[in-house]
A and B are shown apart, each in its own frame.
Chain A
Amino acid sequence: MDQIFTAAFLVPLLAAGVRMGAPLIFGSVGDVLSEKTGVMNIALEGEMLIAALLAFMAAYSSGSLLLGVLVGGFTGLLSALVIAFWGISRRQDQSVVGIMFNIFALGFTNFLYRATFGVRTERASVATLETIRIPVLADIPYIGEIFFQHNILVYLAFIGAVAVWFVMKYTKFGLQAAAAGENPKAAAAAGINVVRLRYIGYMFSGFMAGIGGAFLSLGNVGTFTENMSSGRGFICLAITILSRWNPLFAVLAAFLFGTVEALQLRLQAMGADLPYQFFVALPYIVTLISLVIFGRNIRAPKDLGNAYDKESR
């Protein structure tokens, strides 16, 4: 245990926590906005997974990581557009549609990857996104290593979270978005196009999930593995709840879960006495327990998950 409470262990751990939390930030911050408008993005997991693969394929064939990331984002966005057609326009149960999309994504990525790259022992890979040291800040002892020596997407995750927070809190759009999720009829009576707003929120969430997916394949490992999102989408949904629909808290929670993940990898590597399965399960256990402990008595957007029908009363 002694070796854990040293800077040599903690600083890289926290830095890894930030890095591993980044995709969670993308996923949950987008979902926060979407849920504010009244639509829960159950398909987050699938959107991330498909985006991870397509981003990887784009980067692999073009050699450009930037293109890969963009493809990831737009994959998420388009996926969300399709799901939104079912869930918002056709008013089908959002969770059923989301679950089906996740099943689709699992099969589709597996099929596509095998068809493209075949079954080889050596996986196709690309270089990962390079680390950008923020001048001056990166040199601050400890803090610099934890927060300011990361790839571009990590910084973008933070910037994105703050931007969403700002838009939600200070702009008319933010006010309208929350109204659509709180009381869509009142919002419509105030002249707001609820359906359009929900589309925007949901597609933004898809876009963010797509970037998060791209991060998984291009940010850390430079390769795609089957089912590599492995439940992160669901953890993001939990983060949204834990953050009480506040993007800044979502960053905090994502950092926490990222650190748990980093910790379990390290503990495994250190050859701790506990079986490795315990560590693999740890992030999910922590998520589950924190949902129970911190998820109580929270006030979700009132109309979350309900279909909006203009002519119903």
Chain B
Amino acid sequence: MKAIDSMHSGALLRRIGIVLLSVLAALTLGAVFLIILDVNPFTAYYYLLVRPFSSLNSIGEMTIKMVPILIVGIGVSFTFQTKLSNLGGEGQICLGAIGMTLVGTSSFAEAAGGWYIPVGMLVAALFGALWAGIAGFFKTRFKASEIITTLLLNYIAVQLLSWCVYYPLRDTAGNIPQSAAVAATLPRLISGSRMNVGLIIALACVVVYWVVMKRTKFGYRLRVLGGSIKAATFGGISKRKYYLIVMMISGAFAGLAGSIELAGTQTRLLEGLAGSYGFDGVVASLLGMMNPLGVLLSSVLLGALSIGAETMQVRTGVSSLFLNVLEALIVLFILLGFSFFGDGSRKKNKKGKESEE
């Protein structure tokens, strides 16, 4: 991920400037699309950008959108650190949700009540890790591009989830293809808001990510692998081993996100549960430049926008997926901005100086 390197260092002010300008440019271009299609951009952007912050309730809603994005984004950041790409968040969320459902609707959960939750989360993380591990295994054993395999696995996982709710896990009591409700939902943090302990778990994930990457030997090794594969070999860091591990870690985070979405928000397994969290996580990671705080802020932004997008769709008829357009444009403009004004644009000269005559 060479693009990311160029984002990694440099004057903070310039970075913030580039990011803000990119957001502005994306919104402007988005407004042009809206105008062409005869929608008032001010109305649309009001619902999209301003409304989500206008009440405590919607802030609570925002956090429940933000939590899966953040956790997936942290997982994706782990892989980006090694220059792998885990684009299979969607599938891994599905697997995590399935795992959580299996535990949460079991007789064990009925007996244990809320205490099934940590067990369910572990199982969910394991499911996600194994699902991502398929791509990791194919990568390390057969050199299959993890970009393609994780994407393909998404389509398969979505069908797997669909099968689960139609057949083995279907709640026979109702007519809708969905599972029974889990034994207990995640504890709420504030009464009157759906904000739940998932938020605390997500914030803990950010801290774990920061500590592991910056302070531990393991994180150091991942970064070496991302910096130069050959240097990793030189340093006795097995590419095979760490690629597989990092894919599984990433999958575990996505699986965890799935379990929180299931036990905290949906309470039942149903189709479309993963929504666009998988790719939102990728966007959050890129937008936050893999920096823990950056990923956190990006997730807040994306969470808010997701809420806003739903309101916008109801009020103005503009598809909520219009948000994808804005997300992609923001990232693309940031890349462009950094390629012109970032530190990477000046790196070239340094390289030229490194004479190898």
Given A97, A281, A288, which contacts B159 in the complex, CB threshold below 8 Å? A281
> Would A115 and B151 be within 8 Å (CB), given that A97-B332, A103-B279 are in contact?
no
Evaluate contact between B325 and A292: CB separation under 8 angstroms. Answer: no
Minimum CB–CB distance from A225 to chain B (whole Å) comes to 14
Evaluate contact between A277 and B39: CB separation under 8 angstroms. Answer: no
Asked if A280 is at the interface of the complex by the 8 Å CB criterion, the answer is yes
Evaluate contact between A103 and B327: CB separation under 8 angstroms. Answer: yes
Q: A284 contacts which chain B residues (CB < 8 A)?
A: 152-153, 155-156
Asked if B174 is at the interface of the complex by the 8 Å CB criterion, the answer is no
* A-B residue pairs, 10 tightest by C-beta: A107-B324, A104-B328, A281-B159, A93-B3, A110-B321, A277-B163, A90-B339, A115-B37, A107-B325, A277-B159
Asked if A272 is at the interface of the complex by the 8 Å CB criterion, the answer is no
Interface hub of B167, B339, B354 (most chain A Cβ within 10 A): B339
Evaluate contact between B319 and A115: CB separation under 8 angstroms. Answer: yes
Which residue of B has the minimal Cβ distance to A100?
B328
Give per-residue flags for A277-297: 1 if the beta carbon is below 8 A from chain B beta carbons, else 0. 110110011011001100110
Q: A309 contacts which chain B residues (CB < 8 A)?
A: 348
Asked if A167 is at the interface of the complex by the 8 Å CB criterion, the answer is no
Asked if B322 is at the interface of the complex by the 8 Å CB criterion, the answer is yes
Give per-residue flags for A209-241: 1 if the beta carbon is below 8 A from chain B beta carbons, else 0. 000000000000000000000110011011001
- A-B CB contact pairs (8 Å), 18 listed: A92-B3, A93-B3, A93-B4, A97-B3, A107-B319, A107-B323, A111-B322, A112-B37, A115-B39, A118-B317, A277-B166, A280-B159, A284-B156, A285-B156, A288-B149, A288-B153, A295-B142, A309-B348
List A54-110 residues whose CB lies under 8 Å from chain B.
86, 90-93, 95-97, 99-101, 103-104, 106-108, 110
Range of interface residues on A (Cβ < 8 Å): 35 or more
Asked if B67 is at the interface of the complex by the 8 Å CB criterion, the answer is no
Evaluate contact between A231 and B339: CB separation under 8 angstroms. Answer: no
Which residue of A has the minimal Cβ distance to B326?
A107
Asked if B1 is at the interface of the complex by the 8 Å CB criterion, the answer is yes
Evaluate contact between B166 and A275: CB separation under 8 angstroms. Answer: yes
> Would A231 and B348 be within 8 Å (CB), given that A96-B335, A116-B37 are in contact?
no
Asked if A42 is at the interface of the complex by the 8 Å CB criterion, the answer is yes
Main secondary structure of the interface of A (DSSP, over half): helix
Q: B144 contacts which chain A residues (CB < 8 A)?
A: 291-292, 295
Evaluate contact between B142 and A292: CB separation under 8 angstroms. Answer: yes
Given A96, A106, A111, A278, which contacts B318 in the complex, CB threshold below 8 Å? A111
Please report the C-alpha to C-alpha distance between residue A97 and residue B85 in the assembled complex, in whole angstroms.
Answer: 13
Evaluate contact between A114 and B148: CB separation under 8 angstroms. Answer: no
> Would A313 and B351 be within 8 Å (CB), given that A104-B325, A284-B156 are in contact?
yes
> Would A277 and B160 be within 8 Å (CB), given that A111-B319, A296-B142 are in contact?
yes
* Residues on B facing A (Cβ under 8 Å): 1-4, 33, 37-39, 85, 87, 138, 142-145, 147-149, 151-156, 159-160, 162-163, 166-167, 279, 282-283, 286, 317-319, 321-329, 331-332, 335-336, 339-340, 348, 351-352, 354, 356
Q: A287 contacts which chain B residues (CB < 8 A)?
A: 152
Asked if A273 is at the interface of the complex by the 8 Å CB criterion, the answer is no
Please report the C-alpha to C-alpha distance between residue A61 and residue B317 in the assembled complex, in whole angstroms.
Answer: 22
Please report the C-alpha to C-alpha distance between residue A280 and residue B329 in the assembled complex, in whole angstroms.
Answer: 32
Q: B159 contacts which chain A residues (CB < 8 A)?
A: 277-278, 280-281
Please report the C-alpha to C-alpha distance between residue A309 and residue B348 in the assembled complex, in whole angstroms.
Answer: 9
> Would A86 and B332 be within 8 Å (CB), given that A93-B4, A96-B1 are in contact?
yes
> Would A110 and B166 be within 8 Å (CB), given that A100-B332, A285-B156, A296-B142 are in contact?
no
Given B152, B324, B339, which contacts A106 in the complex, CB threshold below 8 Å? B324
Please report the C-alpha to C-alpha distance between residue A238 and residue B155 in the assembled complex, in whole angstroms.
Answer: 15
Q: A2 contacts which chain B residues (CB < 8 A)?
A: none
Q: B33 contacts which chain A residues (CB < 8 A)?
A: 108, 111-112
Evaluate contact between A86 and B336: CB separation under 8 angstroms. Answer: yes
Q: A296 contacts which chain B residues (CB < 8 A)?
A: 142-143
Interface hub of A42, A281, A309, A312 (most chain B Cβ within 10 A): A281
Asked if A307 is at the interface of the complex by the 8 Å CB criterion, the answer is yes
Please report the C-alpha to C-alpha distance between residue A281 and residue B39 in the assembled complex, in whole angstroms.
Answer: 38
Q: A101 contacts which chain B residues (CB < 8 A)?
A: 328, 332
Please report the C-alpha to C-alpha distance between residue A99 and residue B283 in the assembled complex, in whole angstroms.
Answer: 10
Please report the C-alpha to C-alpha distance between residue A312 and residue B355 in the assembled complex, in whole angstroms.
Answer: 11
> Would A104 and B324 be within 8 Å (CB), given that A238-B152, A277-B163, A284-B152 are in contact?
yes
- Beyond A237-B145, A311-B348, 14 additional pairs, beta carbon < 8 A: A92-B335, A96-B335, A99-B87, A99-B279, A100-B332, A103-B327, A104-B324, A230-B155, A231-B151, A234-B151, A237-B148, A291-B149, A309-B348, A313-B352
Evaluate contact between B147 and A96: CB separation under 8 angstroms. Answer: no
Q: B145 contacts which chain A residues (CB < 8 A)?
A: 237, 241
Interface hub of A101, A288, A309 (most chain B Cβ within 10 A): A288
Given A231, A278, A313, which contacts B356 in the complex, CB threshold below 8 Å? A313
